[in-house]
Homo-oligomer: A and B are copies of this chain.
Amino acid sequence: MRLIAKDMDISTGGIQIVILNKQDADRMDLRPNDRLFVENGRKKAIAILDIAETEKAVPLGHIGLFEETLKVLRAKNGDSIEFHVARKPESVQYIRKKLDGHELDPYELNTIIKDIVFNKLTDVELTSFVTANYTRGQSIREILAMTKSMAYSGLHLKLKKHPVMDVHSIGGVPGNRTTPIIVPLVAAAGLTIPKTSSRAITSPAGTADTLEVITNVVLPREKLERLAYQVGGFMVWGGAIALAPADDKIIAVEHPLNIDAEGQMIASILAKKMSVGATHLLLEIPIDGNGKVSDDKKALHLKNIFTLIGARVGVDVHTIITDGTQPIGNGIGPALEARDLIWVLTNDRRGPTDLREKSLIMAGKMFEIAGKSKPGEGYMLAQKLLDSGEAYAKFVEMIKAQGGPRIVRAESIPLSKYTCEYRAPKSGRIVEINNKAIAHIAKSAGAPSDRGSGVYLHKHRNDVVSAGDLLYTIYANNKDELRLACESSKVHSGYVIK
Binding site for B on A (CB under 8 A): 8-13, 19, 22, 27-29, 31-34, 50-54, 56-57, 64, 67, 88, 92, 95-96, 99, 101, 122-125, 127-128, 130-132, 134-136, 200, 252-253, 255-259, 448-449
Q: Tell me if A10 and B11 are in contact (CB < 8 A).
A: no
Interface centre among A12, A22, A125, A200 (most CB of B within 10 A): A12
Q: Tell me if A135 and B13 are in contact (CB < 8 A).
A: no
Q: Tell me if A19 and B10 are in contact (CB < 8 A).
A: yes
- The contact of A131 among B131, B255, B449, by CB within 8 Å, is B131
Minimal Cβ-Cβ distance residue in B for A124: B127
Minimal Cβ-Cβ distance residue in B for A101: B135
Nearest 8 Cβ contacts at the A-B interface: A13-B53, A29-B449, A127-B127, A123-B123, A135-B135, A11-B53, A10-B57, A131-B131
Minimal Cβ-Cβ distance residue in B for A122: B256
CB distance from A27 to the nearest CB of B (A): 6
- Contact partners of A9 in chain B: CB under 8 A: 56-57
- Contact partners of A255 in chain B: CB under 8 A: 31, 33
How many copies are assembled? 2
- Contact partners of A29 in chain B: CB under 8 A: 200, 448-449
Minimal Cβ-Cβ distance residue in B for A259: B99
- The contact of A11 among B57, B101, B127, by CB within 8 Å, is B57
Minimal Cβ-Cβ distance residue in B for A93: B258
- Contact partners of A19 in chain B: CB under 8 A: 10
- Contact partners of A122 in chain B: CB under 8 A: 123, 256
- The contact of A96 among B53, B64, B258, by CB within 8 Å, is B258
CB distance from A230 to the nearest CB of B (A): 30
Interface centre among A96, A127, A252 (most CB of B within 10 A): A127
Q: Tell me if A96 and B57 are in contact (CB < 8 A).
A: no
Contact of A127 with B123 at beta-carbon distance under 8 Å, contacts A56-B9, A57-B9, A67-B57 already known: yes
Minimal Cβ-Cβ distance residue in B for A34: B256
CB distance from A72 to the nearest CB of B (A): 15
Minimal Cβ-Cβ distance residue in B for A50: B12
CB distance from A307 to the nearest CB of B (A): 27
- Contact partners of A92 in chain B: CB under 8 A: 256-257
Chain A to chain B contacts (Cβ below 8 Å), 17 pairs: A11-B56, A11-B57, A28-B449, A32-B252, A34-B256, A56-B67, A57-B67, A92-B256, A95-B257, A96-B258, A99-B134, A122-B256, A124-B253, A127-B127, A127-B128, A128-B131, A131-B132
Contact of A257 with B54 at beta-carbon distance under 8 Å, contacts A131-B135, A135-B131 already known: no
Minimal Cβ-Cβ distance residue in B for A200: B29
Q: Tell me if B57 and A252 are in contact (CB < 8 A).
A: no
- Contact partners of A67 in chain B: CB under 8 A: 53-54, 56-57
CB distance from A95 to the nearest CB of B (A): 7
Contact of A124 with B257 at beta-carbon distance under 8 Å, contacts A10-B10, A131-B99, A131-B135 already known: yes
Interface centre among A92, A101, A253, A256 (most CB of B within 10 A): A256
Interface centre among A10, A13, A32 (most CB of B within 10 A): A10
Q: Tell me if B127 and A131 are in contact (CB < 8 A).
A: yes
CB distance from A56 to the nearest CB of B (A): 6
Q: Tell me if A52 and B10 are in contact (CB < 8 A).
A: yes
CA distance A202 to B259 in the complex (A): 33
- Contact partners of A252 in chain B: CB under 8 A: 31-33
Minimal Cβ-Cβ distance residue in B for A51: B13
